[in-house]
Amino acid sequence: MIEREGVVISSFLRISNSLTTLQKNLERAKSLRARPLNLKNGEVLVMYLFYDNPDGLSAEQLSRVCMLDRSLISRSLRSLSAKRLITCPRVAEGKRRYGSKLTLTEEGRRVGGIVKQHVREAQAFLREGITDEELEIMYSTLEKLCARFEEYNRLTRAELKSKKESI
């Protein structure tokens, strides 16, 4: 526990505040860079991944790698397709299969290159004064916290279900 402005701050509040602030700043940074490219925040990561995978990616792959719901990925893909930044092969009845590989168009490669450059600049700026060892400890710790929260939530759901069934 630490004290800030005369208030005792628990580790729970510290992690909650830190993650919330980190997420807000990440979204703000994406928004500031995405808007001039006519991209939405959620499309930035998708464009970044497409740029790094020129052979294409399926919606399923994107969903898994981004850890986002398939419906969010589908919305981003529809939007990027409407902006003519990605292309996807069509199958019978003009529908796209969820497992089909999508690729960047020529304009998509141009925009993806700009996204990639913005990401590099942000990473370089954020890494100043942070060693590789510190970064690895942070990533490892965050991954452990994610796994523990998932387990905690699974146990909580099971407990609540058990209580509900006993009523």
* Three-state DSSP class for residue 2: strand
The answer to whether residues 137 and 123 belong to one domain is no
Domains held by the chain: number: 2
Residue 130 sits at φ, ψ, to 5 deg, of -120, 125
Please tell me whether residues 94 and 144 are part of one structural domain.
Answer: no
Rg (CA), the chain: 20
CATH number at residue 40: 1.10.10.10
Is the pTM for the entire model greater than 0.85?
no
Task: Give the tens place of pLDDT for each residue, 113-152.
Answer: 999 999 999 999 999 999 999 999 999 999 999 999 999 9
Give the mean model confidence (pLDDT) for residues 159-163.
88
Burial 17-31 (b: 16+ CB within 10 A, else e): eeeeeeeeeeeebbe
The phi, psi pair for 120, rounded to 5°, reads -60, -45
pLDDT per residue over 20-51, tens digit each?
999 999 999 999 999 999 999 989 999 999 99
**Farthest CA pair distance, the chain:** 66
- The Cα 5–Cα 50 span in angstroms is 46
The answer to whether 106 and 32 have CB atoms below 8 angstroms apart is: no
Q: Are residues 26 and 72 in the same domain?
A: yes
